[in-house]
Amino acid sequence: MSEYLLLIYGDESEWINPTPELGDKMMKGHAEFGERHGQSIRGGNALQPTSTATTVRESSPGQFVVTDGAFAETKEALAGYYLVEAANLDEALAMAKQIPIFSGGVEVRPIRVFD
């Protein structure tokens, strides 16, 4: 079995303050996803808005710049993730298709293992 990170992206303005109906629908959808794939989920969380992010960049060897906010402006922000175990990419993609999202998409990325 391999591990995959399912990265959930979407329009941040839609998920920061959703309508009660949409918020309830999303919470129910994620609960159902968790019930359906509980044996494969190794972790996961929703993320705070990009306005709460802090970015660290090395400006020169041993010197760092710390800035408020996310690294890049984009229409879609990383909203959350699931770390899952799957037999192969096809199985991970099948799980990703079941993640409820407001808009945007789900990036599926294999976890790199160093021996």
pLDDT tens by residue, 47-98: 998 888 888 888 888 899 888 877 666 778 888 999 999 999 999 999 999 9
Ordered DSSP codes for 56-111: EEEEETTEEEEEES-SS--SSEEEEEEEEEESSHHHHHHHHTTS--SSSEEEEEEP
pTM: 0.86
pLDDT score recorded for residue 114: 87
The dihedral over CA atoms of 18, 33, 40, 76, expressed in degrees to the nearest 10, equals -30
Domain 2-110 has CATH 3.30.70.1060: yes
Q: Mean pLDDT of all residues in the chain?
A: 90
